[in-house]
Amino acid sequence: MTKTEQIASLYSQFVIPTYASPSRALVKGKGTRVWDAEGHVYLDFIAGIAVSNVGHCHPKVVAAIRDQAGTLMHVSNLFYTELQGRLAEKLSALSLKGKCFFCNSGAEANEALIKLARLHGHARKRTEIISMTGSFHGRTLAALAATGQSKHQAGFEPMPKGFVHAPYNDLEAVRALVTDKTAAILVEAVQGEGGVIPADPAFLQGIRALCTERDILMLCDEVQCGLGRTGHWFGYQAAGIEPDAFSLAKALGSGLPIGAIVTSPRVADVFQPGKHGSTFGGNPVCVAASLAMLAVIEEENLVARASVAGARFQAGLQALVGNYEHVKAVRGAGLMLGLVLDQPAKPLVETLCGMGLISLATAESVVRFLPPLTVKDTEIDEALEIIEDAVAEWHGVARPQDEEG
Ligand X SMILES: *Cc1c(COP(=O)(O)O)cnc(C)c1O
Please list the helix, strand and coil fractions of the chain in percent, rounded to the nearest 5, in that order: 45, 20, 40
Contact between 188 and 195 (Cβ < 8 Å): no
- Pick 187 or 309: Cβ nearer ligand X: 187
Catalytic residue list: 136, 221, 250
Per CB under 6 A, the segment of 19-27, 104-112, 113-121, 342-350 that binds ligand X is 104-112
Among the listed residues 260, 191, 277, 178, the one whose alpha carbon sits nearest the alpha carbon of residue 218: 178
Contact between 87 and 263 (Cβ < 8 Å): no
Note whether 249 binds ligand X by CB under 6 A: yes
Instruction: Kindly tell me which residue out of 106, 284, 334, 372 binds ligand X, with binding defined by CB under 6 A.
Output: 106
Instruction: Kindly tell me which residue out of 107, 227, 267, 285 binds ligand X, with binding defined by CB under 6 A.
Output: 107
Under DSSP, is residue 174 helix (H, G, I), strand (E, B) or coil? Answer: helix
- Pick 188 or 379: Cβ nearer ligand X: 188
d(CA 155, CA 102): 30
- Pick 136 or 394: Cβ nearer ligand X: 136
Note whether 137 binds ligand X by CB under 6 A: yes
d(CA 359, CA 351): 10
Note whether 192 binds ligand X by CB under 6 A: yes
The tally of CA atoms less than 13 A away on the side-chain side of residue 356 is: 17
Note whether 136 binds ligand X by CB under 6 A: yes
Among the listed residues 290, 243, 291, 295, the one whose alpha carbon sits nearest the alpha carbon of residue 264: 243
- Pick 223 or 303: Cβ nearer ligand X: 223
Among the listed residues 46, 212, 192, the one whose alpha carbon sits nearest the alpha carbon of residue 132: 192
Note whether 324 binds ligand X by CB under 6 A: no
Among the listed residues 38, 48, 2, 16, the one whose alpha carbon sits nearest the alpha carbon of residue 372: 48
Residue type at position 232: H
Closest residue to ligand X, judged by C-beta, is 106
Min separation Cβ 259 and ligand X, Å: 6
Note whether 210 binds ligand X by CB under 6 A: no
Site for ligand X in 218-247 (CB under 6 A): 221, 223-224
Per CB under 6 A, the segment of 27-35, 117-125, 217-225, 375-383 that binds ligand X is 217-225
d(CA 386, CA 259): 34
Note whether 374 binds ligand X by CB under 6 A: no
Q: Which residues bind ligand X (CB under 6 A)?
A: 105-107, 110, 136-138, 188, 192-193, 221, 223-224, 249-250
